[in-house]
Amino acid sequence: MSTRIAKPAARMRKLPRQARSIATVEAIIEAGAHVLSELGWAGFSTNKVAEAAGVSIGSLYQYFPDKLALVEAIRRRHFDHVLSVIREASAEEKPLKQFARELVRGMIGAHSIHPTLHQVLLDEVPGDRGSRAAHASFQARYLEHYAAAVAQYRKRRKDTETMARVLSSAVEGVIHNAARRNMLDAPELQKQLGELIQAYISGGKAA
Amino acid sequence: MSTRIAKPAARMRKLPRQARSIATVEAIIEAGAHVLSELGWAGFSTNKVAEAAGVSIGSLYQYFPDKLALVEAIRRRHFDHVLSVIREASAEEKPLKQFARELVRGMIGAHSIHPTLHQVLLDEVPGDRGSRAAHASFQARYLEHYAAAVAQYRKRRKDTETMARVLSSAVEGVIHNAARRNMLDAPELQKQLGELIQAYISGGKAA
DNA sequence: ATGAATGTGAGTATCCTGTTTATATTCTCG
DNA sequence: CGAGAATATAAACAGGATACTCACATTCAT
């Protein structure tokens, strides 16, 4: 719930020491997320990000050695956020209905600021050497939470992992699609997504 | 099931008359779909497409007045294909289980050749003036089929349209995600996707 | 007030892009 | 066959955008 200050280093040219520069770095990352979400990877240029951040291009390169380091910082922040949402939703034991509702609410919240950032990060941004590992580890932990939830509400232990993958990608698909149409906050959509989750997890008894 | 020869014109500079040129145009469109799927919109350049098609850049411009005309041709072909898949799956009255199975099979088939083309077309390719209408009309007909299916297996008439949207985007999400991991032909995934569809459509009685 | 931290933005060097055009090859058909 | 149409080629162009540097200006902490 609290805004993360982001772990100190993610391949930065130098660390911001004063409050001024911390704000600058923050503005750059924020503007970067915005540009990436709005224009996609194709429109993500360092100059554009600097301008959107209200900062000179020189300042950007004072802290980020190159374009990819910046995008890695953006990715890290976003993934941390999403991860915390799922962690909270799947924490403790609670009725399926409540889990579904919290998951939907959290996921929608996480996408409301930069609606398509998540997909752009997954699909368009090139997977460079260094970030591949971090990326995979994120995906793994991401799935773990879904799998834990699936296992909790299900007797059959068989297809847990596949189900987790199907469920997570289905949820992402719905949210991504809603984001594209600016329908992220339509209540009937939230309700239906919740029911999709419940229906799938609670299994295929009714034909 | 049969390979479409594509409607004659889609804003072409001139029509191919001889067999040779028809093959050329076909190769260009095919290569274009490949490049678009593989490199995304950011990596989609006319020179690259021409090279991938084994054709000189000049030939490309002999038939397509510009880059966008080419991408429109690609889009048209792909959407026609997808549309025919859904049309066939939702035609006639058949048990829900069979509908789900056919839909999954068809959708996976439609994405097996150019796994991420669909998403790239939807997300990355800019919506230019002329194609906006065609795009919308495709989406409308696309949803109609889903809605028809939902209505057929459901009593409640209330949320039919929202359900169709949720269902279609969930299916797309799963397929897109599977495509990214090269898991499109994993049978357990197909099975689970089928069950997701059934569970959602057949409603949330079982908690 | 002095040195360190921070900020500036014009400038550079490249790389690519979409597109044209002059020319070469292949086809059609009388 | 052979003439004209259809088709194919690829070098070249003009223009723009890009990531990134650097010499200098400003603001901070002490």
The 10s digit of each residue's pLDDT in A133-191 is: 888 999 999 999 999 999 999 988 889 999 999 999 999 999 999 999 999 999 999 99
**How far does A43 lie from chain B, in Å, by closest CA?**
9
**Residue B9 — very low, low, confident or very high, per pLDDT cuts 50/70/90?**
low
Q: Say how far B51 CA is from D1 C1', in Å.
A: 36
What tokens appear for A171 in the block?
């949820």
Task: Check: CB of residue B117 under 8 Å from CB of residue B33.
Answer: yes
DSSP state for residue A108 in the 8-state scheme: H
Is pLDDT at B206 greater than 50 in this prediction?
A: no
Provide, as residue numbers in chain A, all residues whose Cβ is less than 8 Å from the Cβ of B177.
165, 168-169, 172-173
Matching residue, tokens 């194609």: B131
**Which bases of strand D sit closer than 7 A to a protein CB?**
6-12, 17-23, 27-29
The amino acid at residue B94 is K
Residue identified by tokens 């990715």 is A75
Residue A195 vs residue B135, higher pLDDT: A195
**Residues of B engaging A, defined by a Cβ cutoff of 8 Å:** 40-42, 96-97, 116, 119, 122-124, 159, 162-163, 165-174, 176-178, 180, 186, 188-189, 192-193, 195-196, 198-200, 202-207
Does the pLDDT value for residue B132 go beyond 90? no
pLDDT digit string (tens) for A123-136? Answer: 999 977 678 888 89
Average pLDDT (A50-70) is 97
- Assess contact for B11 and B65: CB atoms under 8 A: yes
pTM of the model: 0.91
How far out from the chain centre does Cα B128 lie?
18
State the nearest residue by CA to the C1' of C21: B58
Contact A180 B207 (CB under 8 A): no
> What sign results for the dihedral spanned by CA atoms B196, B202, B206, B207?
positive
In this predicted structure, the answer to whether residue B159 has a pLDDT above a threshold of 80 is yes
Instruction: Count the Cβ atoms, other than its own, within 10 Å of residue B52.
Output: 17
